[in-house]
Structure 1
């Protein structure tokens, strides 16, 4: 290698790696600009606040998924856990919003601990372990709800968790923002966060350094379950009912948001900020498609919207892999 070119190559490698991780922010900015220029009411307070309130549920499950994927794992149960959490919280809502909140989050935490036990203690592959709990949680949700929906109590104040606002800002969005702030501190500023990334980078080396690899893996599944349960609480409070058949495909949205945010599926890296950007970007794609349907320019059903999301995810994953490969020092 020509030494005169070494700095240029190093800068190019760093630029490609940063683009793979933070390109979602650029894409999000471009999408917002497009929407603002094309649609008259795109940036209206009603659209913005409705968007933030609704997508807070997806943001919560994506945050939990980030921690799991950063360790090199996967959690397929988050959608079913959210559905179960919505049913349990709705059943507990007559006792007050605190009881409804605790019941939903506690249920998610319990499932997360089961996932952690299966992965860490029983040595079951995360894909299989969380697939099993996904099926189990969905079945329990249907049984608890009597194969229907469960009305939440409006008299106890429980629905304020999903329909209330503070200074005009939706409560669910504030809850999600607070969780992301805590998640950022945990991942970027604590020993726990460093251990999460170390486990994803090289689990055996993490053990040799004396770091609590098993405890960390168990913890991330517990966090993912608790956040999915919290998303279920928001679901029940926002729509006034626990819904056992809701949450289908949420795990795919969460995985998509994390990957679009630049986190590799093999772990060892991750960003709370870019994951949030990934959630907003994926949500905006649907928001823009709805505006297009309203204009009559296109007429796409929800099925076609899912096809577009899948194609977009595939494009991002392929582009991310190529950027990381080209930016890898081994190629210099």
Structure 2
């Protein structure tokens, strides 16, 4: 049997139809499914905000908007790091504990060594923690769930040791310049906005971002393509740990102290925001813009819950987070089946 010869047009490296032309040839049902997955959170966010603004006189006020943005901005950095991790098909359950640990280390650094120690100490610990987790996952072949669950418990244990079982609370000195990093509304929002913008560029405009997407889509194929899979895995957990600890340090600058009880359940909120924003929990597809929509949508919903259902406490908020996450994962499954059938 003679070997099959591909047509010249298939092998040609010349210009061909771009992504928009290719997507235009897709069936309508598949195009709609892709748009719902990518922009569904943004559409729901606009709808919920419009309804809340029309039914509540206090929702669209600057006081309420500034509360949503300023009080939640640093926590959103957990979702930024989690986006990179989930795109690779992994998970990081340690970010909530690292957030709390970073806050304590930031306050400790500000109290004992000044602003630079308050910034560098949490970043170094978070980067080291994330690197160890990444090495165990990438080099030792351990499951991300197990490694980061151990990281969650270990970081919380280190936090307890540093604070003498919670008996010691480190305070950020009133005159410390470190406090300025968390003050007001615009400083946190601008800092977080810049980091999200850099994250978007890293994901969409770099070889690293392309490697992450290929890795999450099919790790074996990524290896056959010669992509640095192990290094990419280590780097995403390093990035996630650094962002989590750094966010905690900035949170302590805003609160004025390292709070030992903070961060519990933050990892689940981050995962929910990322998945609601359209990033596939199985990896291979996601965007920073979608994560922004996801975190804002959850923040708006939590604000409405606090306004209308405050008598039910945090349990109602957790239930809503879980319901949203389950609904979005179900929707993603249905959309994936739709795309496979077309």
- TM-score over 0.5 for the alignment? yes
Preserved CA contact (<8 Å) 1:97 1:156: yes
**1:169-188 residue pairs with structure 2 within 5 A?**
169-188=185-204
1:154, distance to aligned residue in structure 2 (A): 2.1
Aligned: 1:46 with 2:56: no
> Quick check: 41-50 or 68-77, which moved more?
41-50
Aligned: 1:64 with 2:84: no
**1:158-177 residue pairs with structure 2 within 5 A?**
158-163=178-183, 165=184, 169-177=185-193
The residue number in structure 1 matching 2:14 is none
The residue number in structure 2 matching 1:315 is 327
Match for residue 80 of structure 1 among 76, 92, 97: 97
**1:281-300 residue pairs with structure 2 within 5 A?**
281-293=297-309, 299-300=311-312
1:151, distance to aligned residue in structure 2 (A): 1.4
Preserved CA contact (<8 Å) 1:58 1:279: no
Match for residue 126 of structure 1 among 135, 144, 162: 144
SS of match in other structure, 1:57: coil
1:170, distance to aligned residue in structure 2 (A): 2.7
Deviations 1:274-308 (A, max 9, x none): 101100101111101122147xxxx3221122112
1:108, distance to aligned residue in structure 2 (A): 1.1
Aligned: 1:244 with 2:264: no
The answer for unaligned runs of 5 or more in structure 1 is 1-6
Q: Distance in 2 between the 1:293 and 1:259 partners?
A: 25
**1:196-215 residue pairs with structure 2 within 5 A?**
196-215=212-231
The answer for unaligned runs of 5 or more in structure 2 is 1-23
SS of match in other structure, 2:27: helix
1:242, distance to aligned residue in structure 2 (A): 0.8
The total of aligned residue pairs comes to 316
Preserved CA contact (<8 Å) 2:280 2:286: yes
Larger Rg: 2
Preserved CA contact (<8 Å) 1:59 1:279: yes
1:26, distance to aligned residue in structure 2 (A): 0.3
1:9, distance to aligned residue in structure 2 (A): 7.0
The residue number in structure 1 matching 2:21 is none
The residue number in structure 1 matching 2:159 is 141
TM-score, normalization by structure 2: 0.89
Preserved CA contact (<8 Å) 1:20 1:324: no
Q: Distance in 1 between the 2:155 and 2:35 partners?
A: 38
1:8, distance to aligned residue in structure 2 (A): 9.0
The residue number in structure 1 matching 2:315 is 303
Aligned: 1:234 with 2:253: no
Preserved CA contact (<8 Å) 1:147 1:244: no
Match for residue 52 of structure 2 among 6, 29, 35: 35
SS of match in other structure, 1:124: coil
Q: Distance in 1 between the 2:40 and 2:337 partners?
A: 16
1:320, distance to aligned residue in structure 2 (A): 2.2
Preserved CA contact (<8 Å) 1:141 1:244: yes
Match for residue 272 of structure 1 among 285, 288, 302: 288
1:207, distance to aligned residue in structure 2 (A): 1.4
The residue number in structure 1 matching 2:127 is 109
1:48, distance to aligned residue in structure 2 (A): 1.1
The residue number in structure 2 matching 1:17 is 34
The residue number in structure 1 matching 2:118 is 100
CA RMSD of aligned residues (A): 1.5
The residue number in structure 2 matching 1:4 is none
TM-score, normalization by structure 1: 0.91
